[in-house]
Amino acid sequence: MKDLLRVADLTGDDLTLLLRLATDVQNAPESAHDLLTHRIVAMYFAKPSTRTRLSTAAAVVRLGGTPVALGPDELQLRRGETIADTARVMGSYAAAIVIRTFADADVADLAAAAPVPVINALTDGHHPLQSVADLLTVQEHFGHLHGHRIAYLGDGGNVARSLMEAAALAGMDVAVATPPGYAPPDEAVAFATAEAEHGGGTVTLTHDPVEAVKNASVVYTDVWLSMGDPEDQRERRTKALAPYQVNEQLMLQARHDAVFMHCLPAHRGQEATADVIDGARSLAFRQAANRLPATQAVLYALLTERLVGRR
């Protein structure tokens, strides 16, 4: 497996390996400090970034390399150079390419042409690095993943899709509550359902947030208006998603020891209330910290050709 473009590229064993590697580097952050000695990792960001940019840079440094961050105005793409040509050139200098952009097709084209590993650091359709960090956080908190239920509330976009796919690969129960018209893509639901059944988990899609959080160990949400969503959709999306706000009343419907998760940035008073985000049961900032070992694990696994993938 050369690239990580989406969670569905992984096998269950691949995901288990990534979580083990991430745990290992938590305990020994510089255990592979010479893997990228005298090498760079190119990081292309077409979208703003806090956690992804910093965690990726830190992961590269821990592996002994130098991160080079690039924006749309710093390459020749806007002057007509093709993605394929850019990929070939970047791959002749860098050990790996990390890309955060809009269209999934652009990332696929980059990976097809690049001679080095390409990692999707967020697109409109997927957020695989986040989901690895998410499951690492759950595993770290509860000690294991199997038998736990994750309830996701809100828009079934990139974060929901990757989380659902990863939880299913891990054999967890996952419930996704969205308004009508906001559900994850059918392709993602089909993949997650098949993997969950194989691993002993379940996938539930519902429009009822209370049904979703019943018996949940984890209650998860994301922003209502994502990067790239037209601003003129704000009023419509806010009206549709308001019933899915995570507040203390809703948290009381979950397990007594349930935790709250959010990939950040958060908008207090919208998708979740301040008392939940900043409360004792919130793991949101632990998730953010775990983006570093998760990214380090992914880089290490790809660069050392440890992932099998789906052939």
What would be the CATH architecture of the domain defined by 131-288? 3-Layer(aba) Sandwich (3.40)
Catalytic residue among 51, 62, 126, 127: 127
Question: Does the pLDDT of residue 261 top 70, yes or no?
Answer: yes
Strands (E), 164-270: 173-177, 203-206, 218-221, 259-262
Task: Write out the H or E segment, with its range, that includes residue 196.
Answer: helix 186-199
Query: Residues of the chain with pLDDT > 90: what percent?
Result: 95
Residues forming CATH 3.40.50.1370 domain(s) in the chain: 7-126+291-303, 131-288
Which pLDDT score is estimated for 67?
Answer: 98
Q: What is the pLDDT of residues 122-135, one digit of tens each?
A: 999 999 999 999 99
State yes or no: is 291 an active-site residue. Answer: yes
Across 181-203, average pLDDT:
96
Which pLDDT score is estimated for 78?
Answer: 86
Arithmetic mean of pLDDT over the chain: 96
Across 13-40, average pLDDT:
97
Across 36-56, average pLDDT:
97
Across 63-91, average pLDDT:
95
- Cα separation, 223 vs 121, in Å, equals 17
- Cα separation, 70 vs 72, in Å, equals 7
Give residue 63's Cα distance to chain centre: 21
Q: What is the pLDDT of residues 198-220, one digit of tens each?
A: 999 999 999 999 999 999 999 99
Q: Is 100 left (phi over 0), alpha (psi -120 to 50) or beta?
A: beta
Q: What is the pLDDT of residues 148-160, one digit of tens each?
A: 999 999 999 999 9
Catalytic residue among 6, 51, 53, 100: 100
Our CA angle for 211, 216, 222, nearest 5°, is: 85
Catalytic residue among 222, 237, 245, 287: 222
Using pLDDT thresholds of 50, 70 and 90, give the confidence band for residue 231.
Answer: confident
Which pLDDT score is estimated for 297?
Answer: 98
Which pLDDT score is estimated for 211?
Answer: 98
Across 23-34, average pLDDT:
96
State yes or no: is 100 an active-site residue. Answer: yes
Across 93-112, average pLDDT:
98
Question: Does the pLDDT of residue 52 top 90, yes or no?
Answer: yes
Q: pTM of the full predicted structure?
A: 0.97
Which pLDDT score is estimated for 228?
Answer: 66
Question: Does the pLDDT of residue 311 top 90, yes or no?
Answer: no
Give the class (CATH, top level) of 7-126+291-303. Answer: alpha beta
Catalytic residue among 51, 53, 291, 296: 291
Q: What is the dihedral of CA 301, 158, 142, 15, to 10 degrees?
A: -30
Catalytic residue among 126, 130, 139, 262: 130
Catalytic residue among 126, 148, 263, 296: 263
- Do 9 and 122 form a contact (C-beta atoms < 8 A)? no
- Do 280 and 258 form a contact (C-beta atoms < 8 A)? no
Q: Which residue has the higher pLDDT, 77 or 268?
A: 268
